[in-house]
Amino acid sequence: MTAQFVLMQLFNGLILGSLYVLLALGLSIIFGTLGIINFAHGAFFMLGAYIAYTITTYLMPSFWVALIGVPIAMTLFGATCELFLFRRLYALPPLYIMLLTFGLMLVLQDTVRMIYGSMGVPFRTPGSLTGAVNLGFMYYPTYRLFLIIVTAVCSLGVWLFLSRTKVGAMIRAGTDNSQMVDALGINISRIITLVVALGTGLAGLAGVLAAPIQNVRYLMGMDFLIDCFVVVVIGGMGSIGGSILGGLIVGEIIAVGVMVWPPMAHTLIYLFMAVFLLTRPRGLFGREAFHD
């Protein structure tokens, strides 16, 4: 095992981690405002990849169009889901919205399977991003580097949006106490629509970015989503910083696991989660109030 290989593998962990970050961010802000786990989040991710495939294959063979178009389409889709489905259930215990999103996930997955088949579809790396870049100490595939940069920019953007803008402040306030926000004259239901739309858009973006390097299959989302649960347990639910750090940690654990003992690489993250649950149940940056 050369140093070069180890470094390469650590970078690959960063790639996986970046995708986790994008998904966990959306999962986390939706959780913060609605108090639910969005089971359909993985399906949104998968849908993003398939829409990118459809755009590049049938409409316009440009990855850049997909990269811009898919997040927009998914944002609108998320807003639609919130307005027409989730909204009906706010008066009830959160359990019901979670079950609704579970049903939605099954419907989306199976619809995609019926249209595109269960074997998955091929997705090529965009032409301008093929090849490798010399980083000085090693060569690394251009596309993967691009993915890391896009994720970093987006995470920074989401963080700035939530911490520096007025709307971001409203969202954070809604996370703390949505009734109080409502009483202060802010239209909380519009905020909720915005949050679900934003989270879904991020999941769609993760889907486009993952398409060239992951196996585009109808089941890709749920497996990714369950890993993201581990991310938010480690990072702390409802925390932006926690989602980012947790995502990167989980990505690296899998990458290191693949080097040490490949068959059990994936099991490692669950054991890590168990350790966290027993020693620091609120995660790295989670607030105590969230899980009581």
Partner 1 sequence: MSVVKILILSSVLALAIVFPHIAPYEGLASEVLIFMLFAMAYDLVLGDAGMLSFGHAAFFGLGAYTAGIFLIRVYSSVLLALLGGVIVASIAAFLIGAACIRRRGIYFTMVTLAFAQMFYFIAFKWTGLTGGDDGLQNVPRPDLGPFDLGSELTLYYFILVLVGLSVIVIVRVVNSPFGKTLQALRENRDRAMSIGYDVDRYRLIVFIISGFFSGLAGGCYALLLNFVPLSSLYWTTSGEVVVMTIAGGMGTLFGPALGALGIILLRDIISNYTESWSLFMGLLFMAAVLGFRGGIMGIVRDKLKLPI
Q: Which residue has the tokens 């088949």?
A: 117
**229 scored as a contact of partner 1 (CB under 8 A):** yes
**264 scored as a contact of partner 1 (CB under 8 A):** yes
**260 scored as a contact of partner 1 (CB under 8 A):** no
Indicate the SS3 state at residue 127.
helix
**115 scored as a contact of partner 1 (CB under 8 A):** no
CB 36 to partner 1: min, Å: 6
Residue 238 region by backbone torsions, left for phi larger than 0, else alpha for psi between -120 and 50, else beta: left
Among 110, 176, 180, 190, binds partner 1 (CB under 8 A): 110
Tell me if 233 sits within 8 A of 291, measured CB to CB: no
Tell me if 205 sits within 8 A of 22, measured CB to CB: yes
**273 scored as a contact of partner 1 (CB under 8 A):** yes
Which one, 130 or 223, has the nearer CB to partner 1?
A: 223
137: Cβ–Cβ under 8 A, 6 or more apart, which residues?
Answer: 7
Indicate the SS3 state at residue 67.
helix
Among 60, 88, 115, 190, binds partner 1 (CB under 8 A): 88
Tell me if 28 sits within 8 A of 187, measured CB to CB: no
**280 scored as a contact of partner 1 (CB under 8 A):** no
What whole-number distance in Å separates Cα of residue 276 and Cα of residue 267?
15
CB 274 to partner 1: min, Å: 5
Locate the DSSP E strands across the chain: 132-134, 139-141
Binding mask 188-227 for partner 1 (x = CB under 8 A): ----------------------------------x---x-
Tell me if 200 sits within 8 A of 78, measured CB to CB: yes
Kindly list the residues in this chain that would bind partner 1 in the complex (CB under 8 A). 31, 35-37, 85, 88-89, 92, 94-96, 98-100, 102-111, 113-114, 222, 226, 229-230, 232-233, 237, 263-264, 266-267, 270-271, 273-274, 277-278, 281, 291-292
